[in-house]
Each structure stands twice: as C-alpha cells, then as structure tokens.
Amino acid sequence: MNFYKELELILQEQSVITKIEMFEHFYKAYKKGSYDTSVEYDAEEFETPSYEKVCKIVPPQDVPKRKNLTSKEGQVTLIHAIAHIEYSAIDLALDGAYRFSGLPKKYYDDWLEVADDEIRHFLMLEKLLKELDAEYGDVEVHNALFEASQRTQTLVERMAVVPRYLEANGLDATPMILTKLKKLPKNSMIEKIIETLEIILAEEVDHVKKGDVWFSYACDRAGVSRDSYFEIIDKYYPQGFLRPKNLNLEARKEAGFSCQELNFMAKKEVCL
C-alpha cells in the first residue's frame, strides 16, 4: 500500500461518509506502521474540492449571513458554516500530508492527527445539524479554504497560510461567536453549540502550534527567515488580519506566536 496514493484516494472521495470511513481504516493501519512515508510521490493538483457534489458553492459574499441565532434557521446557518470550515480542514490536513513527501515521520504523524481531530469536530457539528433536521450540504458554501490549498504549493507557504493564518484566525473569531451566543436566551441547542465550539477552540490551539513548529522547520530547510511570514500573508491576504482588538493573545502565544509578531498584528505593544 502506497501512503501517498491512499491519501490521494481519500482526498478525492466525494462521499462524506465514505471519506471518513476510508480515513479511519487508513489511519488505523498507519498507526500500526503499515505505511512507508519516505517514498517519493508526484502529487496531483486538484482542480475541484471533494465537497463539490455535496454542497452548492457560491462566492464568499453570497454565503448566507449568520443572523437571528435564536431561530432554527439561524442556528443551522451558523452550525453549517462552521461544519464546512471543519470539513475543509480535514482535506487541508490530509493534503498537507499528501503534498509534501520526504519529510520526517513526525510531520505526517502531526497532520494525520489533525485530520482525525477535524473529522471528530465535523461529526460533532453534523450531529447538531441533524438535531435541527438539517444536514451538511443544505446551506451554500464558499471555496476559500480549498483555494488556499491550491495556491500554496511550497511547505513554507502552506505552513504560513493554513495553520498560522487561517486556523489562527479561528482562534480570534471563535471567542467572538461564543460571546454572542452566551448573551442569547438560554436553550438546549444554544448550550450544545457553545459546548461544541469551546471544545473545538481548545483543540485548534494545538493545530496552530503544530503549524508553527513545521513553519520553523520549513523556513530552516528553505534557508529563509521566520520573518517571511508577514510577506507571505500579505501576498495572499493583503487585507491583513482581523481587527487588532479581537486578537486572542493568550491562545496565539500558546500556539507559538512571538510577542514581536503579536505586537505587529495589533499595531501596538500588547505583549512583552
């Protein structure tokens, strides 16, 4: 069994249930030592995301707005949006393991572990959708995360953009969502959403931290400075970061961001 070919098949699988089953079988065998990650492999360039036939894809500005979170429709829209992020993150983690061959085994250990976490997160959210008589694919989605994987074809750029920018932005955004939810009148679904998001937030810190470790490794390997991070982000996301006041400083520090980086993002001294 070829490690990279198996990942390629999982990445291309369009059925949500089958993809997860394939990964679980693969991951169980991987942890038993059934795969050799040291072989070379020419990765495919994927033109469409695996969820293309499951979800209706629209431009980001046309994705339904998350509003009226006390209503069933509002809750479905919110949960579906986060579930789509988590489902996209499954493929991002798998693609990170698939696309870059010849790296230390710990690299593959880390990103397959992240993929396993993202699957668990997705299933938690999918369960909430089903409680609301909805399912993944019921709400329009955008392609932004898939497009990020298409554009970042070097290890340095991938580690900068996916874990240290996109996932790290989640560390900032999720507390804002939680604050809004906690102000709403209490009901069982709101409580379940809050509990689920708190679990995801805590575990995403480790994902960003893994990305920080491998970003440093990639920089050393390529002979570039970690300071290239902001140049890379400016290249792909010239709009920059979330509003400085919303930076989750403690989570970002735990995940490996330096005070120098945080002060730069905040545009003032927020960290010593």
Query: pLDDT tens digits for 139-198?
Result: 999 999 999 999 999 999 999 999 999 999 999 999 999 999 999 998 999 999 999 999
Would you say residue 26 lies in a domain? no
Residue 49, token pair as written in the block: 């995301």
Would you say residue 43 lies in a domain? no
- Taking the C-alpha atoms of residue 157 and residue 184, their distance in angstroms, rounded to an integer, is 40
> Crossing angle of helices 16-31/105-131, nearest 10°?
150
Say what the pLDDT of residue 1 is.
Answer: 80
- Taking the C-alpha atoms of residue 14 and residue 250, their distance in angstroms, rounded to an integer, is 37
User: What's the predicted TM-score (pTM) here?
Assistant: 0.96
- Taking the C-alpha atoms of residue 89 and residue 214, their distance in angstroms, rounded to an integer, is 17
The sign of the CA dihedral 191, 182, 135, 28 is negative
Q: Which positions ≥6 away from 153 have C-beta within 8 Å?
A: 99
**Bridge partners, residue 195, by sequence:** none
Query: pLDDT tens digits for 235-255?
Result: 999 877 656 678 999 999 999
Low-confidence ranges of the chain (pLDDT < 70): 241-244
**Bridge partners, residue 141, by sequence:** 57
Q: For residue 63, what is the domain's CATH number? A: 1.20.1260
- Taking the C-alpha atoms of residue 221 and residue 214, their distance in angstroms, rounded to an integer, is 10
Q: Which amino acid is at 22?
A: M
- Give the domain extent around 94: 49-266
Would you say residue 84 lies in a domain? yes
Collapsing DSSP to helix, strand or coil, 86 comes out as: helix
The total number of structural domains in the chain stands at: 1
Say what the pLDDT of residue 141 is.
Answer: 97
Measured CA angle at 146 (ends 143, 148), to 5 deg: 110
Say what the pLDDT of residue 262 is.
Answer: 93
**Bridge partners, residue 57, by sequence:** 141
Would you say residue 73 lies in a domain? yes
Would you say residue 44 lies in a domain? no
Say what the pLDDT of residue 181 is.
Answer: 96
Say what the pLDDT of residue 100 is.
Answer: 96
Say what the pLDDT of residue 267 is.
Answer: 86
Q: Which amino acid is at 182?
A: K
The burial of 186, by beta-carbon neighbours within 10 Å (0-12 exposed, 13-18 middle, 19 or more buried), is given as exposed
The burial of 78, by beta-carbon neighbours within 10 Å (0-12 exposed, 13-18 middle, 19 or more buried), is given as buried
